[in-house]
A and B are shown apart, each in its own frame.
Chain A
């Protein structure tokens, strides 16, 4: 009964494992089974594993490269409008972003095949991801307006945002080619719940001295806002059927896509290891519940113009309405239902690690008692130090993070990894990961940007991950 309950929970349960987009603590932390999800070519030695629900909660990553909540909302007695002007309008650029990601592991298992060199893994996870860049010129128009700014072009391209929610179904194969090289590949099917994106806007709004009248106002717009699933979500909110709708769309009732992860581990020697992975090389085709909005055109106006004698031809002409109609015709705000494709934010990870110290004991060598079986455990050194590179494709180009890490193993029951990461969010990001192994039970807790915990409100980046797995190094 307990086994079947465990099995059911494992299959359909709510093992909550949250990941940041950059999972520098989890990457190459091969004691943790989820590390195979960010490097399908990781060198793993389990016979099988299964994610287990144990610790409920929400795991997430959120970052703001411009300001923190504390910068704006600290109870410091300063005029809020002054803070908005100094820290947002004057303090941020269009490369600053507000972004967030979460992943919720619904089901995750892995097992070694008959060929002991091949390890299969599969699962389902739920993911939400959104990013919005600081829309500087829109904010300036909204706070200051266009007065006394002749010839200043307000860039409509400052609107750059995207977001999505989906379920991901994945199946991976990890093969140990020889003692030096391990390769991995993971196929993914994306079931998009909703998507919105407006990332390729162009155009400007400018006020210049007019040729006839005092000012000429020009709107040059090439803007697109694409959505899928949003209308159905809105209807579900009205009908009180949000849960059902998300479930249905997340299980192949929305829009579908495919993708692939690739990864490798290469040992130059027992002590020097190179790894790399390319994740979410994929796309989603949106054809279900699509609605897009466009604003395209180029118009210049100097207000209502009445030039005699031409204006005398029709004395009842409504010049104002004609002007409005002309502008709406030249720069129409329209909607359409055309299908579209989005590319997933592809991630690149790489690391080089040097190990030293006493190798940990193989499980088969331990004092395990009369029921001990053979094991696949690979030799691991007590210490590891190295560097990692992370890149992700974002609407304003790739974002990069560099990490230095140190890993320490305490026998087979505990491993600790600490990281120092530099990226656009922080230059003082120190993270700590703890992995505990109690028999077959594996518990891990990874927390990022620990210095920020002195005042969480003042952090521009935070993430944490936790999870519980059952791992076996014995036979199937």
Chain B
């Protein structure tokens, strides 16, 4: 993308070149590669699955109750004769959508609180005390409470989980903001008359993106697990909407005779969370080498 008149070696790399270099480094990282493959596969299942496998996930066929996995029902059927594969595919879609929304919302809200707290000294202590207090409630408990307050719907699960993870994202952004605001070039920008908004947008936000992104992949994984737990407890998206958690809850009573009902969604949850965690490990090692846990 460089201007032909300029020698490419003398100009700073374009955003595209930097992106490509980053992608190369990421794909050299083994856990990132594995995580990427797992997540990509699940995304494909969630996006393409309902188009290829068109069986209605809520259609009850009493003739076909408790069928073990077979050529016709790849993952078997449940107590109401519903096709587990089709419920699995829709559950995958729900899990990923919820995980994505929770990551986006807690990312945005965490960024706002983190920047405010890290940049506007006056409210720092108040905002962080509130975050500390929120952090004191176990996320699953906070989510149970908020979710009960909003009623059993997909969007209340998303809001409940987003609120639960805001303190974590806010802390990450605040930490970067505190470091960046003291850097010489930011001080220089301020002295040369840059507005607070400009400093936040040009300097603080770009420097927080890396650590925040790492944290958000982990939030994605937590959210998938927490949504499953909420659904399992009966406080998730309401039935008959298939979710991995409520398929397991429904299959629990038949877990010995009809093991397939709860086996596949459990594997789905584990794979999805594993994939996101591996992605996050890779991102952390590449974007934020200081946090590397490896020896």
Answer yes or no: are A and B bound together in one complex.
no
